[in-house]
Amino acid sequence: MPDLILCLGGTAEARALAARVPVLTSLAGRVRQPALPVGEARIGGFGGVEGLVAWLRRHRPVAVVDATHPFAEQMSRHAVLACDEVGIPLLRLQRPGWVSGAGDRWTRVPTLAAAAAAVGDRCALLTTGRQAVAPFLGLRHAVLRAIERPADVPASWTVVLGRPPWSLEDELAQIAEHGVEVVVTKDSGGPAAPKLEAARMRGLEVIVVDRPPVLAASVVSTVDDAVDWLSTVTG
């Protein structure tokens, strides 16, 4: 490609951007069978800020798009520090957060630990991912959803393996089958999730973990805006 653009992340936004603009997509490699984007991809970490700086200096992309998950806090921070050091333009592409509506019973909390404390002794449907299990290990009752089974989950928990998205029918069935009393989720954003609709229909509280702050100076919420920004950078 005449101008190398590095796109960080395996989100739907990253895949949509790769379908429209020639980019090199970088995936963390935490899942054995990731959903691959169109075009070139690299899998694996960079080795912290120093490793990313070295990669940027070696390959000299004209721009970096951070399209990682809204909760990929470490990677986003590393991107800001590395791009600042090397002098490469950085764009944060992050989908809008969720907004509660009529009938929703949402409790917003700042951290995963606060979410675990808010669950109490209720049976929680945990949709925060296997990387975020540790703060919840003290719960007696939980239904954990994950793409791959994490190690060392309590024997009293139920683990449901599968790749999202889950349908509304799936959500309602899991709530009923496992006696779910509260739903725990991160504010991943994007289109309204069926789990939120299912919780509303069943009158369940949803504990929503707020996003970490965005550190990048340039931020957009749509792929169209990202394409426009890239056109100004690449000329």
| Cα–Cα distances in angstroms (integers) from residue 52 to residues 28, 49, 77, 108, 189, in the given order | 13, 5, 11, 34, 27
Whether residue 235 contacts residue 107, with contact meaning beta carbons closer than 8 Å, is answered with no
| Cα–Cα distances in angstroms (integers) from residue 28 to residues 56, 80, 171, 199, in the given order | 16, 17, 28, 31
Domains by residue range for the chain, with CATH: 5-96+213-234 (3.40.50.720), 106-209 (3.40.50)
Q: Which of 11-15, 24-28, 46-50, 150-154 has the lowest mean pLDDT?
A: 150-154
Could you tell me whether strands 142-146 and 124-126 are parallel, antiparallel, or unpaired per DSSP bridges?
A: parallel
Of the pLDDT bands very low, low, confident and very high (cuts 50, 70, 90), residue 63 is very high
Whether residue 92 contacts residue 219, with contact meaning beta carbons closer than 8 Å, is answered with yes
80-109 confidence digits (pLDDT tens): 999 999 999 999 999 999 999 999 999 999
Residue for token pair 């973990």 = 209
Whether the per-residue pLDDT at 1 is higher than 50: the answer is: no
Q: At what angle do helices 48-59 and 73-86 cross, to 10 degrees?
A: 50
| Cα–Cα distances in angstroms (integers) from residue 113 to residues 101, 117, 136, 149, in the given order | 25, 6, 7, 21
Q: Which residue did the predictor score with more confidence, 37 or 25?
A: 25
What pLDDT shows up at residue 152?
Answer: 83
Average pLDDT over residues 39-63: 95
Q: Which residue did the predictor score with more confidence, 2 or 151?
A: 151
What pLDDT shows up at residue 210?
Answer: 97
Distance (Å, rounded) from C-alpha 17 to C-alpha 61?
A: 16
3-state secondary structure of 111: coil
Average pLDDT over residues 29-34: 64
Distance (Å, rounded) from C-alpha 190 to C-alpha 173?
A: 23
Average pLDDT over residues 156-174: 92
What pLDDT shows up at residue 42?
Answer: 93
Whether the per-residue pLDDT at 234 is higher than 50: the answer is: yes
The mean of the pLDDT values for the chain is 93
Q: Which residues contact 121 (CB under 8 A, 6 or more apart)?
A: 140, 141
107-152 confidence digits (pLDDT tens): 999 999 999 999 999 999 999 988 889 999 999 989 999 888 888 8
- CA 3 from chain centre, in angstroms, equals 27
Strands (E), the chain: 5-8, 24-27, 40-43, 63-66, 90-93, 106-109, 124-126, 142-146, 158-161, 182-186, 205-209, 219-220
Distance (Å, rounded) from C-alpha 82 to C-alpha 175?
A: 43
